[in-house]
């Protein structure tokens, strides 16, 4: 069903596939993970060329503001899978983060797939 959140997901995934050239085979959609006995469901996960989790993606409906709660949600998922990147988007605003041993930084652009 094309819910407002699903519309955002389709738009972001289209951009990553068509514009950024990420192969569709590297995406996993709506998987669950368990952390500290609590089950979480993430919207999408992108793997790198070697098959390692590379970017966690979380989508919100366009009328949902990107608040600290949304960022905290993606950070929990990221920490469980240790992805170097995450994206949170409501279609109006998209925030991308990079994780290193030095902490979390906001990034303005992701590398095109061929640049990985």
Q: What is the pLDDT along the chain (116 residues), one digit of tens a residue?
A: 789 999 999 999 999 999 999 999 999 998 777 767 777 778 999 998 898 889 999 999 999 999 999 899 888 888 888 899 999 999 999 999 999 999 999 999 887 887 76
* Residue 71 domain boundaries: 4-28+43-115
Q: What is the pLDDT of residue 66?
A: 94
Within-domain flag for 34? no
Within-domain flag for 38? no
Q: What is the CA radius of gyration of the chain?
A: 13
Q: Are 72 and 88 in contact (CB under 8 A)?
A: no
Within-domain flag for 36? no
How far apart are the C-alpha atoms of 78 and 105, rounded to whole Å?
13
Within-domain flag for 20? yes
User: CA of 26: how far to CAs of 38, 47, 51, in Å?
Assistant: 26, 5, 8
Q: What is the pLDDT of residue 9?
A: 94
Q: What is the pLDDT of residue 116?
A: 61
- pTM equals 0.86
Number of domains comprising the chain: 1
Q: DSSP readout, 43-66?
A: EEEEE-TTS-EEEEEEE--TTS--
**Max CA-CA distance within the chain?**
41
């Amino acid at each position: 069903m094309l819910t407002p959140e699903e519309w955002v997901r389709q738009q972001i995934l289209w951009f990553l596939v068509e514009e950024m050239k990420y192969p569709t085979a590297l995406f996993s959609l709506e998987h669950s993970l368990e952390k500290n006995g609590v089950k979480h469901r993430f919207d999408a996960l992108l793997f790198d060329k070697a098959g390692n989790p590379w970017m966690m993606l979380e989508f919100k409906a366009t009328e949902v503001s990107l608040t600290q709660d949304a960022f905290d949600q993606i950070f929990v998922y990221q920490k469980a899978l240790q992805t170097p990147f995450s994206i949170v988007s409501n279609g109006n605003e998209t925030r991308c983060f990079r994780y290193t041993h030095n902490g979390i930084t906001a990034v303005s652009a992701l590398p095109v797939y061929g640049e990985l």
